[in-house]
Structure 1
Amino acid sequence: MSFNYLMQTLFIFPFILLVYHQVSAITLKWYEYLIIISVFVFTDLSWFYFIFLEFAVLIAFSYLKDKTKPIALHFFYGLYPWVIDSLLRRFVLFYVLPIFGITDFRLFLENISVLALTELFIYIIYFIATYRLRFDFNVLIELVSTQTLRIRLLAIDIGMLVYFIAMEFFSGAEYYGHVDTLLIRQLLTIVYVIVFIGSLIYLNSAYKKHLEEELVKVRLSELNTLVTYTKQIEELYADIRAFRHDYANIISTLSEGIAHNDMDIIKKVYANVIKESGDILESSKYDFEGLAYIKDDALKSLIATKVFDAKKRGIDVQLDIPDTIDKPDNMALLDVIRLISILIDNAIEAALKAEHPQVMINIHEDDNDYIITVSNSTKEEKTPIAYLSGNGYTSKKTGEHGIGLVTIKRFQDQYPQLSVEATSGQYRVMQKVVLKG
């Protein structure tokens, strides 16, 4: 192993791992770094066709760290660092270094100063491009929730793989076979830079459009819920007005019974009217007072929609909001809405299969901590914790679930102050989310 190769590894491998961490948010242990770098070195010193191991090891670690993510994402995480390094390195060699009079590309392998200058340009260009494009790689998790964007991401994966193999093939043909492929590599580099950046910009804009559509849905849901909520209030007001009329008659009858000391009338009124009125007032129909404690209209709309929907589907819903609450200050409102929506949807879905469908929702603040607890009855005595995993619960078939799970996992990555706990037992599942203040 030459000194020049050692210097290359000191520059190149850290850049690969830095980009890998940035796009995947994976934190590696020291021995995992050692394993990955060992594979890199083994690949460089081995037969050319072992080159796939360079990105295969990154894909493997991504999969082992979080198996809930789609395969297309793991491939993206493994391929992206190598493709970016290849693109930037060749862009600097082909188009930047010649500005400084350096046209002999062999100097990159033989001259430490040229190597250091190349790597300096790579780091500068990468961080400037990353800052200017402002691409949030966390959105890739969300993008796979729609079929069209999932296909786009898969196409990008295939494109990266083809570029990487083609570029290494042409480089090997020139280095080992002495075939002049410089023009092909130059054209391939500039074309793929344009295509690749364009693809990332498209995905980013598509995700923003997706968020805008989600916001529109939330607003429409608010309007629809407002109509339903108003009707519910009108029905409750009508019940109260009728009860007030009946109450006046009850008082009149009781007064007459008391005046004549007629216990039969008093007992009859109690048995047939007062007791029955108490049963009516205890009905779950009057369990919406908690909504009045929610200050944020969007949050109130969401919870009201979910409660009304669950009741229509025959689920006994208990809403417990003991005091006035607003949306959390340290989490985006749309993320709060999506989080609560996933928790309640999962609870409703599981409760529908239970013998006695029931969902309980509790939201309160405790010492600046925002606490959301959603529990539900289940068909099974105990749901395996592997399904809960602190990421929500779903009973959908394999291949249909996971978006809710992955979304909550992304929230945990995005908001370090967010913790999710799930427990199961005695035919119930409880999901508790704590957002530290």
Structure 2
Amino acid sequence: MNKTLISSVVVLVGMQFFEIFFHREAVSHYTKSLIFAYIFLIISVLILLNNKLIAYKEEIMRREKEAQYERLNLYTRQVEQMYQTVRGFKHDYKNMLISLEESIRTGNIDEVRFLFHEILIRANVALSEGENIDDLSYLENPALKSLLYHKLMEATRDGVEVVIEIKQEIRDVKMDLLDFVRLLSVLLDNAIEAAKMASRPRLTLAIVQDKGRHIVYVSNSKAEGLVPIHRIYQKDYSTKGSNRGTGLFNVQEIVERFNHVMLETEQTEDTFTQIVYIGG
């Protein structure tokens, strides 16, 4: 319901009340004027609050779009940097092969060994720089690409070993994009934070599309011990201290808005897993 429609409904209800109440002869003119002023004030406040709420929601969406745009730019710059790295490697690789051919022809075994290991070292550097984001190319939506890239780089910088499994084209996710991005953001933020507390920080993200249904799998290592799953979705509950505990509560609210979305939570002594089923 938009702002104009809500305002119209409030005004219409107020007018109907005036029409019924003001036809009563027993009510004095002063009383009618006073009640009119109060009701007019209440209607004005309601309309103002409604406008403020709509403006707040629009501001949230604007900020999220700006964040998505910035993450997309970051992702694009990183892909361009990877392209330049591989391009430079191909040039160096060609020159080293020419040198290797000459060393083999002259029988310089020490030079052959050196060039061979140099090629292997450079190849490993070139490939390892792109291994974390290769699978993101299967995501059709640039906002999802940029979000996952941002989270992946954040986890890697914090010393978390990241495994991504996206081996097929992912498109037409049957969720509002903003809700899907918010849901993934919370799950990944929690997974990264928990993984950093583990003896071996590790995060696994997999996205699968099967017969119109999407499955998102987020698993992380954690400190040993079990968390109370029946409580983690409650508002203000957190195992991480005060002023926390809204993330998973918001995730639960998002999931409940869609009758074709389901969330499962699993854990062992040292792993925590969230599985989201969308569609189907």
TM range (shorter): 0.7 to 0.9
Normalized per residue, the structure richer in strand is: 2
Q: 2:220 aligns with which of 371, 376, 389?
A: 376
1:213 aligns with 2:59: yes
User: Does 1:415 find its partner at 2:258?
Assistant: yes
Using the aligned pairs only, state the percent identity: 29
Structure 2 distance, partners of 1:199, 1:380, is 52
In structure 1, the residue matched to 2:10 is none
Show CA shifts across 1:2-59 (max 9, x none).
xxxxxxxxxxxxxxxxxxxxxxxxxxxxxxxxxxxxxxxxxxxxxxxxxxxxxxxxxx
Q: How much does 1:374 deviate?
A: 1.4
3-state secondary structure, aligned to 1:385: coil
Structure with more helix by fraction:
1
Distance 1:390 1:327 in 2: 31
Residue in structure 2 matched with residue 432 of structure 1 by the alignment: 275
Contact 1:358 1:376 in 2 (8 A): yes
Are the equivalent residues in 1 in contact too, given 2:69–2:143 (CA < 8 A)?
no
Distance 1:293 1:235 in 2: 19
The residue identity in structure 1 corresponding to 2:245 is: G
- Identify the residue that residue 405 of structure 1 maps to in structure 2: 248
Q: Report the aligned-residue RMSD.
A: 3.7
- The 2-side partners of 1:274 and 1:98 are apart by 92
- Preserved contact between residue 350 and residue 378 of structure 1 (Cα < 8 Å): yes
Alignment TM-score, normalising by the size of structure 2? 0.74
C-alpha change, 1:203 and 1:295, in structure 2 (3 Å) is farther
The reply on whether 1:291 has 2:136 as its aligned counterpart is yes
Q: C-alpha distance in 1, partners of 2:45/2:205?
A: 42
Kindly state the Cα deviation for residue 316 of structure 1 after the two structures are TM-superposed: 2.6
Task: For structure 1, list consecutive stretches of 5 or more residues without a partner in the other structure.
Answer: 1-87, 104-182
Hey, what does 1:276 align to over in structure 2? Answer: 121
> 1:31-430, aligned counterparts within 5 Å?
96=20, 191=38, 195=42, 201-256=47-102, 259=105, 267-270=113-116, 272-281=117-126, 283=128, 285-328=130-173, 330-388=174-232, 395-398=239-242, 400-430=243-273
Give the aligned residue type for 2:276: V
1:338 alignment partner AA: R
Contact map agreement 1:388 1:422 (CA 8 A) in 2: no
Shift in CA distance, 97/223, structure 1 to aligned 2, threshold 3 Å: closer
- Answer yes or no: is the 8 Å Cα contact 2:213–2:279 preserved in 1: yes
Q: Distance in 2 between matches of 1:321 and 1:230?
A: 19
The amino acid across from 2:194 in the alignment is A
Partner in structure 2 of residue 43 of structure 1: none
Q: Structure 1 stretch 226-235 or stretch 408-417: which is displaced more?
A: 226-235
Q: SS at 2:230's partner residue? A: helix
Asked whether the 8 Å contact 1:389–1:422 carries over to 2, the reply is: no
Q: State the shift of 1:301 in Å.
A: 2.3
Q: Is the 8 A contact 2:85 2:126 kept in 1?
A: no
Instruction: Please give the alpha-carbon distance, in whole angstroms, between the structure 2 residues aligned to 1:206 and 1:408.
Output: 25
2:6 matched to which residue of 1?
none
Structure 2 gap ranges (5+): 1-12
Alpha-carbon separation, structure 1, partners of 2:251 and 2:65:
22
Greater RCO (Cα-Cα under 8 Å, separation 6 or more) = 2
Instruction: Tell me the distance in 2 between the aligned counterparts of 1:397 and 1:432.
Output: 25
Q: Within 2, Cα distance between the matches of 1:295 and 1:274?
A: 35
Give the C-alpha shift of residue 336 in structure 1: 1.2
CA distance in 1, matches of 2:273, 2:169: 23
Q: For the Cα contact (< 8 Å) 2:75–2:145, is it kept in 1? A: no
Alpha-carbon displacement from aligned partner over 1:301-356 (angstroms, at most 9, x marks no partner)? 2222222222333333333221222352x322211111111111111221222233
Q: Which amino acid aligns with 2:67?
A: S
Deviations 1:226-270 (A, max 9, x none): 332233123212321231123213422443465567776655544
Contact 1:353 1:378 in 2 (8 A): yes
Instruction: With the length of structure 1 as denominator, give the TM-score of the two structures.
Output: 0.50
**Bigger radius of gyration among the two:** 1
SS in 2 for 1:286: coil
Distance 1:314 1:346 in 2: 15
